[in-house]
Amino acid sequence: MEYETTGAICVKTFRLSATANTAAATTAGPIFTKGSLILGFAGKVTEAFTSTGSATLTIGFTGTNQLSGDTAKTAIDAIGDVVGPSATETPCAMIVTADDTFDFIVGTAKFSAGKMDCHVAYLPPPDGVADSTFKQYAST
């Protein structure tokens, strides 16, 4: 049997820098297009997050099941700390139903420093192109 691969897993990598953040605000990150299948994400601290108050950071796709919990400053205050989807959410694959951004949500206190490299694993939306060797199957 022959099968055509129409898309391979992609990883979009970007850096969050807390140097210009404001308290109780959401910053939109990169856009993922409608139809993308989000497999998961992880953020790894590359510069410790610091603040004068009890700051929290939530990352992911707002309003979906691909969102971290409110991560306290103490959980991201060392290089190498990792943040991913919350266990209280249902961390499973999801399809983006409209163009959506990967969001960075700062809680009530502002961060004074901190950097995180974020990696989002996803499949881009199918482009509908398959050549004549692609096998089609119908269920009856």
Q: For residue range 121-140, list pLDDT tens digits in order.
A: 998 887 766 555 555 566 65
Instruction: For residues 87 and 48, give the distance between their C-alpha atoms in angstroms, rounded to a whole number.
Output: 23
Single-letter code of the amino acid located at 41: F
Q: Which residue has the higher pLDDT, 134 or 41?
A: 41
Residue 101 tokens read as: 């951004």
**pLDDT (average), residues 66-87:** 87
Q: What is the percent of the chain where pLDDT is above 70?
A: 80
Distances (CA, A) of 116 to 17, 38, 109: 7, 19, 18
Instruction: For residues 84 and 73, give the distance between their C-alpha atoms in angstroms, rounded to a whole number.
Output: 15
- For the entire predicted model, the pTM comes to 0.81
Count of alpha carbons within 13 angstroms of residue 30, beta-carbon side: 15
Instruction: For residues 37 and 120, give the distance between their C-alpha atoms in angstroms, rounded to a whole number.
Output: 11
Which CATH code of 3.10.28.10, 3.30.450.20, 3.90.380.10, 2.60.120.1110 fits the domain covering 11-123?
A: 2.60.120.1110
Mean of per-residue pLDDT scores for the chain? 82
- Nearest residue to 94 via CA among 6, 34, 44, 42: 34
pLDDT band at 5 (very low <50, low <70, confident <90, very high): low
DSSP E strand stretches across the chain: 10-17, 25-32, 37-51, 56-60, 71-72, 82-83, 94-95, 100-106, 111-123
Evaluate if residue 3 carries a pLDDT over 60: no
Instruction: For residues 116 and 101, give the distance between their C-alpha atoms in angstroms, rounded to a whole number.
Output: 17
